Amino acid sequence: MQSQPSKRTVSSGHPKKRRPAAKPRPTVSHPATEKAKHQHRIKKRPVPAADAQTASLTRGSESPLKRRNKLFSAGGSFDIPFFIIVMALLIIGVLMMFSASYAYAYYSSKFGNDGLFFVKQQVLFAVIGVAAMLFISAINYRVLHFWSLIIFGISVLLLIAVLFFPDRNGAHRWIPYPINFQPSEIAKFAVIAIFAHFMSLNQKRMNTLRHGVLPYVSILVVVSALLIVEPHLSATILVCAIGGIMMIVGGTPLKYFGIAAGAAVACFVVVFFFPNLLPGGVGEMVQEKLAHAYQRIEVWQDPFVDLRGDGWQTVQSLYAIASGGFMGVGLGNSRQKYMYISEPQNDFVFAVVCEELGFVGAAVIIILFALLVWRGFVIAMRAEDKFGALLAVGLTVQVGLQAFLNIAVVTNTIPNTGISLPFFSYGGSSLIMLLAQMGVILSVSRGSKLRKSV
């Protein structure tokens, strides 16, 4: 049998090498594709109830400007510590106002010899104010972006209209219809709201003269001029101080404040010491409008010089403070409120507080005001947007400055400017307006609480 020849590969030259098996090439996917896949997996994954709620809140807080026109807040509870401080000041204030006003109302036939005359009305105003505070706290504060311009226009019209109503003690400050109220209370809030509106819209251009100075100075000039014509010096000082602080917080360069301070000092010196240098009859008009301010400055320097006249109120206030001592004479036991301090339920209620509660009670009240300011600033720092932060700062500064100025007047640290003590002084429109403004701060705190929880 013949053997078959073996089949061999005949190659010419060098033997052929085998190629190694090709490795699989890694697949490179686009980032957008990976993101879409990741989102798809998230959608398929079941979401717990708590996470779903958090996600919905987060979606609601991503773009605050889109929710500007929604009437009610997205959710979250308001700041409880701030609310407790407000209610504590309100309760103590109503109680001390009742103690200060009882003798004055009881011995005055103008109030029907009813010792409860003032406290009955103040309690009613407080109830209305608390209801307004709680209602406004549930409203989305961003609606003020639109309403701020309207509120400011209305406040200017009211400041003009008040000049045509009968004066009280030489000043046109009150409009008796539909209720007795001061347009200056609305003007304070209007200035804060419109400042916050423009500053939040122009926050990246606040370092310029056009967007960081001129609009706000123009607003302050208009409002201050109308307040001076009333005349209402304390409201003028308060509005200008609030506006200046908001401009600093809003981002206005400090160099402009140096220029403004120099101009203000120059105007003050000319108006108060050299009014005859003003052109035409401007000097005489300024002297006539500010005659009460000249007189108050003279009495402030030494109130005992005119003890039976303009210095009477300040002297009796100092007597009340000195009589209180460290622990006070006891709640309801003040002697200076018995027809010595004129209208003790108004601007000089803090003097009765010092007499009845002493240094300790007065210190507690001052601490409560300090805590209110501190908590208001905390809410501002935690606000969702610039607009809410500026609103909280402006409204908090208003309460703090007003309390400081009132206490300074009562202790004769500054001249008597006729400024009320928040939560303590008698007044329906001022108390309701004040509590409504606290509601705006609580509304801002709802957003800050929301962001903190997320």
pLDDT per residue over 62-91, tens digit each?
344 444 456 665 456 889 999 999 999 999
Please give the Cα distance from 378 to 452 (Å, whole number).
Answer: 12
pLDDT band at 390 (very low <50, low <70, confident <90, very high): very high
pTM assigned to the model: 0.80
What distances in angstroms separate CA 209 from CA 64, 202, 217, 223, one per listed residue?
A: 28, 12, 11, 20
Residues 6+ apart with CB under 8 A from 225: none
Amino acid 6: pLDDT:
47
Residue 223 has pLDDT above 90, yes or no: yes
CB-CB contact of 350 with 100 (8 Å):
no
Q: What is the pLDDT of residues 35-61, one digit of tens each?
A: 555 555 544 454 444 344 333 333 333
Residue 102 has pLDDT above 50, yes or no: yes
- State phi, psi for 168 to the nearest 5 degrees: -125, 120
Q: Which whole number is the average pLDDT over 414-437?
A: 90
Alpha-carbon torsion angle 96, 123, 227, 403, nearest 10: 30
- State phi, psi for 205 to the nearest 5 degrees: -120, 20
Amino acid 54: pLDDT:
38
What distances in angstroms separate CA 223 from CA 271, 288, 330, 346, one per listed residue?
A: 19, 20, 43, 24
Amino acid 323: pLDDT:
93
CB-CB contact of 420 with 402 (8 Å):
yes
Q: What is the pLDDT of residues 152-176, one digit of tens each?
A: 999 999 999 999 888 887 778 888 8
Amino acid 151: pLDDT:
94
Q: Which whole number is the average pLDDT over 304-321?
A: 87
Token reading at 23: 């490795």
